[in-house]
Amino acid sequence: MSAALIIVAEWPKNERETVRVALDEFNGHPVVNARLWFRADDGSMRPGKAGLAIGVRHLPALAKALNQALAIATAQGLLPEEASR
């Protein structure tokens, strides 16, 4: 994997923070990074401390767990119907 950052998805969490999921590299190893970003005083986006960065080898297990969480949350009515599509 090249050292280039690949932003997979991002969406606003609130007025101040954005959730960003990206493929990146850390110490020469490919990682998936899900992190809260915030807008700094100079207007640039900066990564916050809150987040998860794990080796891409864990990505299949993470995806499976998130899909299971989505199915359970949908079944329990915790999400609006259109959010689970």
Tens digits of residue pLDDT in 48-80: 999 999 999 999 999 999 999 999 999 999 998
Can you give the three-state secondary structure of the chain, one letter per residue? Answer: CCCCCEEEEEEECCCCEEEEEEEEEECCEEEEEEEEEEECCCCCEEEEEEEEEEEHHHHHHHHHHHHHHHHHHHHCCCCCHHHHC
Residue 11 falls inside a structural domain: yes
CATH code assigned at 61: 2.30.31.10
Q: Considering the entire predicted model, what is its pTM?
A: 0.83
Residue 66 falls inside a structural domain: yes
Residue 20 falls inside a structural domain: yes
Domain hosting residue 10, numbered range: 6-84
Position 85 scores a pLDDT of 60
Q: How many domains does the chain have?
A: 1
Residue 33 falls inside a structural domain: yes
Tens of pLDDT, residue by residue over 6-52, are 999 999 999 999 999 999 999 999 999 999 999 999 999 999 999 99
Res 2 pLDDT > 60: no
Residue 1 falls inside a structural domain: no
